[in-house]
Amino acid sequence: MSSASAGAGSTSSTSVDEINVREAIERHDVARLRQLGQQHGFFTTNLRRRAWPILLRCPSSTSSASGSSSPVESAFDASLSTSYAHQIKLDVNRSFVHFKDQLHPSPPANPTAEPPPSIKARRQAQLQRILVRLCARYPFLHYYQGLHDVCTILLLVLDEHLASKAVENLALFFLRDAMHTNIEPVMQLMRAILPIIKSEDRDIYRLLEECELHPYFCLSWFISWFSHDLREFDKACRLFDLFLSSNPIMPIYVAAAVVLERKEDLMELDREYPIVHSFLSKVPQDVPVDTWIQHALRLYRRYPLATIQGMTGWQFDENCAALRFDTDFPSSPLRTSPPASTIEQLMDSASHVAPTNHPDSSGIYAFKPLPLVKRMGRSYVPVDGDAPALILITAVAIGVLSISVGFMQQRVGGSGAGPTAEEAARSIDVLARVLVLLIQRGN
């Protein structure tokens, strides 16, 4: 069932979650919409048509909210040009191969049935205009293959005028790391999948390391937000709900979740690069995407980008969209986003940063964690080599607590004031158990 048909069938039995979405839309509450977009998404095409523009800070007009657009709104300046026009045309000609059911005037009996040629041609012309307009208006944003897949989803949910505005903010604040002159900034971010997998499952990590597999297998997942690889429109839209509601780095966590969820099949493969790469590069089509989403959200909370930097010793570009997201695209309506000229400067400065701290092809699996004292905190994740330092810290804590107990016994003398010796002894016992576990791990 398509999103549109799902929306038509649920009007008489609106869920509480859907009511929450509607209320957040009415209030233009970006923070609440982000929360709901992560939790369960926006359910229908009609709700997405209203929610996505708010999340992208391009509120829809009355006409666009109804799914139609005036000729004036969709007008295109034929004088606009870009050096990427030819590549855009090639990609547009290959577009709308999937999600054919969304091109029909009404839900077809056969979802794979070819839509009327006139409708497909009109949609392709709209997609062409959107992409050319974007590259012409922002020449510092370099088109890449896969961007047309992202824009296809936006166009199918929004009208051309609204999709064109949405794509601008999407490119400036979410996808700009893929729009440099080369793909290197994206590859530097994509390597974050490796320490996540290493901390979650050593078996999978050892397999990838043995095959010397780099995260190229999930490149299209990251730069197209999975829209190039998924075949069901509802699944793609559900992931867009998540990505539009999250930090731009979120596709990496979904990619990690997809890999981790496939452990059983993965471990049965021959440990050869071509075989493992081919297997991982194919997105499973029969898995509920909410399984990946909830897993990814847990990974994101446990391994934020700052923690990954501490675990590996890597330093990501401070001007990348992920590290600047809270500053560049805040949820509060009281804070504005920087102008496009500032984004251009950020991208230009990033392109001049020498990759001195970037691992080469042979060292991508060689992590050099920062000192323990720099990684301690709420998001601390233990790494290899931490055990000796933690043993020392725990031993010192036991010693300090033991001395404190002695002073308490002398001063309190069993009067019952303050912590009792029995309570202190229990604390020492807990610390001692921790010490034993750390020693065992260290061995």
Helix residue ranges per DSSP H, 138-201 = 147-157, 160-173, 184-190, 193-200
Average pLDDT over residues 409-433: 61
pLDDT of residue 386: 59
Per-residue pLDDT at 383 exceeds 70: no
More confident residue, 61 or 81: 81
| Top CATH class, 16-59+78-178 | mainly alpha
Look at residues 154, 100, 99 and name the one whose alpha carbon lies nearest to residue 127. 154
Per-residue pLDDT at 114 exceeds 90: no
Look at residues 9, 317, 282, 24 and name the one whose alpha carbon lies nearest to residue 189. 317
pLDDT of residue 311: 87
Q: With 0-12 CB in 10 A as exposed, 13-18 as middle and 19+ as buried, what is 313? A: middle
Give the residue extent of every domain in the chain: 16-59+78-178, 183-370, 373-411
pLDDT of residue 259: 98
Cα-based torsion angle of the residue sequence 308, 276, 235, 161 in order, rounded to the nearest 10 degrees: 70
More confident residue, 312 or 249: 249
Q: Which of 260-269, 303-312, 320-329, 399-408 shows the lowest per-residue confidence on average (mean pLDDT)?
A: 399-408
Write down the mean pLDDT value for the chain.
Answer: 83
More confident residue, 372 or 142: 142
Q: How far apart are CA 82 and CA 85, in angstroms?
A: 5
* Model pTM score: 0.81
Per-residue pLDDT at 12 exceeds 80: no
pLDDT of residue 194: 95
Q: Which residues contact 179 (CB under 8 A, 6 or more apart)?
A: 141, 142, 143, 144, 147, 171, 347
Average pLDDT over residues 343-350: 90
Average pLDDT over residues 50-78: 62
Q: Which of 55-64, 232-241, 265-274, 288-297 shows the lowest per-residue confidence on average (mean pLDDT)?
A: 55-64
Retrieve residue 385's tokens: 């080599």
Per-residue pLDDT at 5 exceeds 60: no
Residue pair 91/145 in contact by the 8 Å Cβ criterion: yes
Cα-based torsion angle of the residue sequence 218, 219, 225, 231 in order, rounded to the nearest 10 degrees: -60
Note every long-range contact of 355-359, with CB atoms under 8 Å and residues 24 or more positions apart, other chains counting. 355/184, 355/188, 357/313, 357/314, 357/315, 358/188, 358/314, 359/191, 359/314
CATH topology of domain 183-370: Cyclin A; domain 1 (1.10.472)
Q: Where residue 11 falls among pLDDT bands split at 50, 70, 90?
A: very low
CA atoms within 13 A on the CB side of 180: 21
Q: Rg for the chain (alpha carbons), in Å?
A: 26
Q: With 0-12 CB in 10 A as exposed, 13-18 as middle and 19+ as buried, what is 129? A: buried
189-231 pLDDT per residue, tens: 999 999 999 999 999 999 999 999 989 999 999 999 999 999 9
pLDDT over 90 percentage in the chain:
59
More confident residue, 386 or 275: 275
**Amino acid of residue 119:** I
User: Phi and psi of 360, rounded to 5°?
Assistant: -80, -175
pLDDT of residue 376: 56
Q: Which residues contact 47 (CB under 8 A, 6 or more apart)?
A: 7, 18, 21, 22, 25
